[in-house]
A and B are shown apart, each in its own frame.
Chain A
Amino acid sequence: MNWAFWLPLLIVLSSLLAALVIFILPEEKTKTRIGLNIGAALLKIVLVAIMLWGVHSGYQFETRLPLLPGLELVLRADTLAMLFVALSAGLWLLTTVYAIGYLEDSPHRSRFFGFFGLCVTATVGVALAGNLITFLLFYELLTLATYPLIIHRGTEAARKAGRTYLIYTLAGGALLLIGTVWLYTLTGTLEFTARGFLSTLDSMHHPALIIIFVLLITGLGVKAALFPLHGWLPQAMVAPAPVSALLHAVAVVKAGAFGIIRVIYDVFGIEFSASLGVTLPLAIVASVTIIYASVRALFQDDLKRRLAFSTVSQVSYITLGVAIVGPLATIGGIVHLVHQGVMKITLFFCAGNLAETLGIHKVSEMSGVGRRMPWTMAAFTIGAFGMIGAPPLAGFISKWYLGLGALQAGQDWVIFVLAGSTLLNAAYFLPILYAAWFGKSTGSWPNERNIGRYETSLALLIPPVITAILAVLLGLLASVPFSPLEWTRLITSLEYTP
């Protein structure tokens, strides 16, 4: 058995096969379904761990299958891919546990978990894609797999959100497709290559390349929720909480941001992008997104909508880090891929717990909730402080490197963006925390249910607690080998000429 060929494929298949079996599983086979879900998630983590170790030891993992004459389906485990794969595999397990608790006794669970598995399959595929067409393939699959999750509840609002999501993402996908095909007709290859493969192209193609860059980034920007393409994300919060977690932290938004990294680093090459003059406009768009979305978040009373705008803002840190051009900023951006994921998923888990246990959907209803649900709110607090960027949490590491990187690259104005955003983050998170811990409880909640012996059921409680602890550890242990930060340094060292 050729592990180098099979391992990437197995990692993709582990969730795909589980999903397909879950689809045909009768609704009442709850135990089998839980077993399959958890089993597949654990299997995937084991496989990813093996691969992580392998990549670190210098092994090459690559799957190639013919797709079109001259084009192959390529799954390749490089360092950047591993960062995203590890993130999604880890968070998938937690989200699955959470979703099992969250959806207990609700209808259509086979359908839900089937698409859930497909979603993760697509995300892992996006992460491992070794060329642009493979990326595109999984990127579109992700759209298709998330749509049923968004409209899962079947209400009018859900259908509307689903429609909006599709209009945005299908249009984005179309732009991505045009850009990809165009690129292919120019170069005859789409293989991701460290430092890009376009710099050798005749300069007469440069105007075309700029248009292609815009097409690709716009296509990816839809999922990465870059302003003004972010409209679908706040609407999509009608979906069940585990789906929001998936959208915001694990899969969709991340796939967009990851794609932007890929295109800039491994298609165009960061230095060539800079020489084309496309990075500065991108940095500006990212900055505008950061500030704009933070301001919008300030005025949302609906908790999940506030978190959604927060995501729009935070994900653009990743884009910003990449677009600043410079090793330190790059580290900040890429590491935020992981850090934002861990912190934001904590926040959404907590929001879900509040909704599920107490029926709380609005910030104004949260007064005193800290005493009723201390664990949940403790996790929430850590996530929120992390988002603000308070040391020693994970968010601090990202912002620190972003700031340093901006100074290093001579883009001092970015500091103001970061500072402004931090203030705004604090402005929309701190009142929540204040109300939750120090506010007076009215004693009655909108829709209280007693689930479990603790403040809520364990399946709902454990995932946010774990991710909150992770958010702390990622900050504290940032310099330990295999930490995202160290891994990111490795990635960055490959991208920049020493």
Chain B
Amino acid sequence: MEALTQLQLAFDVVLVLTLLGLAWQALTSPELFRAIVLFIAFGLLMALVWVRLAAPDVALAEAAIGAGLTGALLLTTLSKLAKQTDKSSRENNKDIIAPSAASTDE
């Protein structure tokens, strides 16, 4: 019993540390794509945490929405961002926010 508890504690500690580590990696990764992939991994790990915390409903929601859909959204956004870069470099990008007056063309 004692050993089991010890083992469980070790598991918890490792899980928590991995979670924090992944979050840190996702937030500091110099490459955006890597950051997003790490974030998705983070989401999946969160799902594991929810299972561990006896919250299977949340785990399902996290896996499907938090990691899955959010991840898909992030990836597609990144690809659009990349396309924009190609496009804007073609069109002499206008890279400063123009101090335009509030638009009145509604």
Is there any pair of Cβ atoms, one from A and one from B, under 8 angstroms apart in the complex?
Answer: no
